Amino acid sequence: MTYKNLLIDIENGMAIVTINRPKAMNALNEITLTELQDAFVNCAEDDAIQVIIITGSGEKAFVAGADIAAMQPLTALEARQFAKLGHQVMRTIEGCPKPVIAAVNGFALGGGCELALGCDIRIVAENVKFGQPEVNLGVIPGFGGTQRLARLIGKGRAMELIFTGAMVDASEAYRIGLANKVVPFDQLLDTAKAMAATIISKGSYAVQFAKEAIHNGLELDLDRANQYEAELFGLCFATKDQKEGMLAFLEKRQAKFKGE
Ligand code: HXC
């Protein structure tokens, strides 16, 4: 996988996807979004990859938003198309059977905050600032921020952030549930990799079904969601990892999961 604006490193069952446009604060333009779409489809298909970590290059920005210079002259129809491209990328990340961890290394603004919201888990460096500053530009969030922010941190807090365009620092992001964990900048990637390694050590089908149940279940009413969970719980019993995991417990030993 070779890209213009992304770097991909694969090690120990994890792919580290780095958005690499540091001069533009890793802003998302069409090509970067298209490359992200392609990279996540490839990572989903690659059996050597079990967890994906996404981060930004440099120390300043994870992603400072969609590319404002590229957006400024767009027509209404082009802008709608651009929003849909972002939606497609976030949906691909959510639909990816493998967990996706955002290692948020700096500003996560606008489309950058939305990209982090599209990921399953957010590990955040102490220097990070999150925000949806679109109102400062005369627009609204367009890569799913009006929807996912409210779902993650609640309607009232999402409205405050989106109406004011205010930024929140890492500790506030943690307090309101936007960040799972806050660590010093120099420990960010190692912390993300350690979490990825923990996930990789589990039965990969169990992790995959759990992701599917959570994402899809949240869009259903509770009875249907529970039904969906029961189906996936049952499906776990079609895997060798379930037999091994429960047998290992009964034999008082560590399970040896094979992802089968
Ligand atoms: C394009 C960007 C950019 C962006 C920064 N840059 N953010 N270029 N799009 N979103 C560029 C700057 O133009 C500048 O280029 C270089 O990166 C460094 O930025 P500075 O502003 O000089 O750095 P600093 O003073 O440290 O301020 C950092 C910052 C600020 C606070 C992150 O850059 C900022 O406010 N950026 C915009 C954040 C934003 O509004 N994001 C939301 C975008 S709308 P030069 O060439 O001058 O060095 C959005 C909508 C999503 O995301 C949905 C779309 C459908």
pLDDT digits (tens, 9 = 90+) for 90-131: 999 999 999 999 999 999 999 999 999 999 999 999 999 999
**Helix pair 145-153, 155-164: axis angle to 10 deg:** 130
The minimum-distance atom of ligand 1 relative to the CA of 68 is: 9
Asked whether residue 67 is assigned to any structural domain, the reply reads yes
- Shared domain check, 225 and 168: no
- Shared domain check, 100 and 34: yes
**Boundary residue ending a domain (200, 215, 234):** 200
Segment 161-189, tens digit of pLDDT: 999 999 999 999 999 999 999 999 999 99
Q: What is the CATH number of the domain that holds 246?
A: 1.10.12.10
Segment 240-249, tens digit of pLDDT: 999 999 999 9
Segment 15-43, tens digit of pLDDT: 999 999 999 999 999 999 999 999 999 99
- Shared domain check, 181 and 101: yes
Contact 40, 52 (CB under 8 A): yes
CA-CA distance, 141 to 114, in Å (whole number)?
8
- Shared domain check, 112 and 47: yes
- Shared domain check, 209 and 240: yes
- Shared domain check, 88 and 194: yes
Asked whether residue 255 is assigned to any structural domain, the reply reads no
CA-CA distance, 28 to 86, in Å (whole number)?
9
Contact 239, 207 (CB under 8 A): no
Which residue puts its alpha carbon closest to atom 12 of ligand 1? 24
**Boundary residue ending a domain (164, 182, 200):** 200
**For tokens 């690499």, what's the residue?**
20
- Shared domain check, 133 and 171: yes
- Shared domain check, 117 and 241: no
| H-only helix segments in 96-169 | 111-118, 145-153, 155-164
Choosing from 134, 219, 244, 260, the catalytic residue is 134
Which residue puts its alpha carbon closest to atom 43 of ligand 1? 65
Asked whether residue 256 is assigned to any structural domain, the reply reads no
Number of domains in the chain: 2
| pLDDT for residue 1 | 76
The proportion of the chain whose per-residue pLDDT surpasses 70, expressed as a percent, equals 100
- Shared domain check, 143 and 100: yes
Q: 3-state DSSP call for residue 136?
A: helix
Asked whether residue 260 is assigned to any structural domain, the reply reads no
Q: 3-state DSSP call for residue 10?
A: strand
Mutating to test ligand 1, I would choose from 25, 87, 143 the residue with most ligand atoms within 8 A of its C-beta, which is: 25
CA of 235 to the centre of ligand 1 (A): 46
- Shared domain check, 192 and 65: yes
Asked whether residue 246 is assigned to any structural domain, the reply reads yes
Asked whether residue 55 is assigned to any structural domain, the reply reads yes
Mutating to test ligand 1, I would choose from 67, 68, 134 the residue with most ligand atoms within 8 A of its C-beta, which is: 68
Which residue puts its alpha carbon closest to atom 2 of ligand 1? 24
Q: What is the CATH number of the domain that holds 164?
A: 3.90.226.10
Choosing from 30, 59, 94, 114, the catalytic residue is 114
Q: Is 231 marked active-site?
A: no
**For tokens 């089968």, what's the residue?**
260
| pLDDT for residue 147 | 97
- Shared domain check, 221 and 148: no
Contact 226, 163 (CB under 8 A): no
Q: Is 11 marked active-site?
A: no
**Boundary residue ending a domain (160, 177, 200):** 200
89-92 long-range CB contacts below 8 Å, 24 or more apart? 89/33, 89/36, 89/37, 89/40, 89/115, 89/118, 89/143, 90/114, 90/115, 90/117, 90/118, 90/143, 90/144, 90/148, 91/118, 92/37, 92/40, 92/41, 92/44
Amino acid 189 reads: L
Asked whether residue 153 is assigned to any structural domain, the reply reads yes
CA-CA distance, 20 to 6, in Å (whole number)?
5
CA-CA distance, 26 to 203, in Å (whole number)?
34
| pLDDT for residue 58 | 94
CA of 25 to the centre of ligand 1 (A): 6
- Shared domain check, 227 and 111: no
Report the Cα 135 to chain-centroid distance in Å: 24
CA dihedral 215, 220, 223, 224 (to 10 degrees): -80
Asked whether residue 233 is assigned to any structural domain, the reply reads yes
Site residues for ligand 1, CB cut-off 6 Å: 24-25, 27, 64-69, 82-83, 86, 107, 109-111, 133-134, 137, 141-143
Amino acid 64 reads: A
Q: Which domain holds residue 224?
A: 204-250
